[in-house]
């Protein structure tokens, strides 16, 4: 397992304008000069945080997913962020998802459907909840991928019970990096910053949180404050109010050292997430 380089894009989004957003993001991605392995975009990067999936949703064969395939292949990076996706069941019923897509350069991909829908904004009235986590693997790093409001629910992000782990410094830990893509409003930004650091400390992992800036079509303001945090909770990067592209290398030796010197993970409580019957 070697070091891992990640780029995050903190940007304004054109409200419900897929064409403008994809063009803008393509220009930003192609401007990344440093060698990078993963590029992280905000939540609903092609539309903004919209409650109109009936008008804006695409299928997995749609333009945005095809765009992700092309950009990932051209730039030779893994590209991730969430988009509005619709799926039709055998009985013709259509469901909408706030779906994070983990797109590899070879066109293969994984998906994570946002588990915790933001009822305060009516997300639960329009979108179907996911019930499975996605933990990807890159160069031996395990990466847990989540979306915005999931941040408020620590059990969903918690490392697996210690009884399931192997012995040794950090051996058998479920993941090494936790990524949140978000549209997190400025008015609640204190919670965003505090909880990102808490997730890093309690899970002894790197945390990457990517938020947007600017105002959306509902006159909600976003201050960005995307963050990269180390396993001790130290902030390695943050930026307020400005559009920015940050590329940073996560160090394996530092991760191993923290888990070896402070093996708090060995003392964690055992637990099991029980799915609802309807799932």
User: Which residue among the candidates 37, 148, 205, 239 is catalytic per the annotation?
Assistant: 148
User: Which residue among the candidates 18, 28, 69, 114 is catalytic per the annotation?
Assistant: 114
* CB neighbours of residue 31 within 10 Å: 9
CA-CA distance, 246 to 32, in Å (whole number)? 9
Residues in the chain: 279
CA-CA distance, 28 to 76, in Å (whole number)? 15
Active site residue 43: yes
Q: Tokens in use for 251? A: 């160090």
Active site residue 246: no
Cα 6 to Cα 36, 51, 131, 143, 251, distances in angstroms: 6, 30, 27, 12, 11
Helices (H), the chain: 18-30, 53-56, 63-75, 123-126, 154-157, 189-203, 252-261
CA-CA distance, 181 to 189, in Å (whole number)? 14
User: 46 Cβ partners below 8 Å, 6+ apart?
Assistant: 18, 21, 22, 64, 83, 84
User: Which residue among the candidates 16, 18, 28, 43 is catalytic per the annotation?
Assistant: 43
Active site residue 114: yes
Q: Which residues are annotated as catalytic?
A: 43, 114, 148
């Amino acid at each position: 397992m070697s070091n891992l380089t990640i780029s995050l894009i903190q940007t304004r989004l054109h409200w419900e304008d897929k064409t403008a957003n994809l063009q803008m993001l393509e220009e930003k991605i192609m401007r990344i000069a440093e060698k990078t392995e993963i590029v992280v975009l905000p939540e609903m990067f092609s539309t903004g945080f919209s409650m109109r999936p009936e008008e804006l949703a695409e299928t997995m064969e749609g333009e945005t997913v095809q765009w992700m395939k092309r950009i990932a292949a051209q730039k030779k990076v893994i590209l991730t962020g969430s988009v509005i996706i619709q799926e039709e069941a055998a009985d013709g019923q259509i469901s909408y998802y706030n779906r994070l897509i983990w797109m590899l350069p070879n066109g293969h991909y994984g998906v994570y459907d946002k588990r915790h829908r933001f009822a305060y904004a009516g997300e639960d009235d329009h979108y179907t909840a996911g019930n499975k986590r996605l933990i990807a693997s890159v160069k031996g790093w395990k990466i847990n991928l989540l979306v915005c409001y999931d941040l408020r629910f620590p059990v969903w992000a918690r490392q697996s019970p210690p009884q399931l782990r192997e012995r040794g410094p950090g051996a058998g830990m479920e993941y090494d990096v936790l990524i949140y893509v978000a549209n997190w409003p400025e008015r609640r930004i204190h919670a965003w910053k505090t909880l990102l650091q808490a997730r890093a400390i309690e899970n002894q992992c790197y945390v990457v949180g990517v938020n947007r800036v600017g105002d959306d079509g509902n006159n909600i303001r976003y201050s960005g404050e995307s963050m990269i945090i180390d396993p001790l909770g130290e902030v390695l990067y943050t930026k307020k109010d400005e559009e920015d592209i940050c590329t940073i290398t996560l160090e394996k030796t530092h991760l191993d050292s923290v888990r070896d010197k402070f093996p708090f993970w060995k003392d964690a409580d055992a637990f099991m997430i029980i799915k609802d019957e309807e799932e």
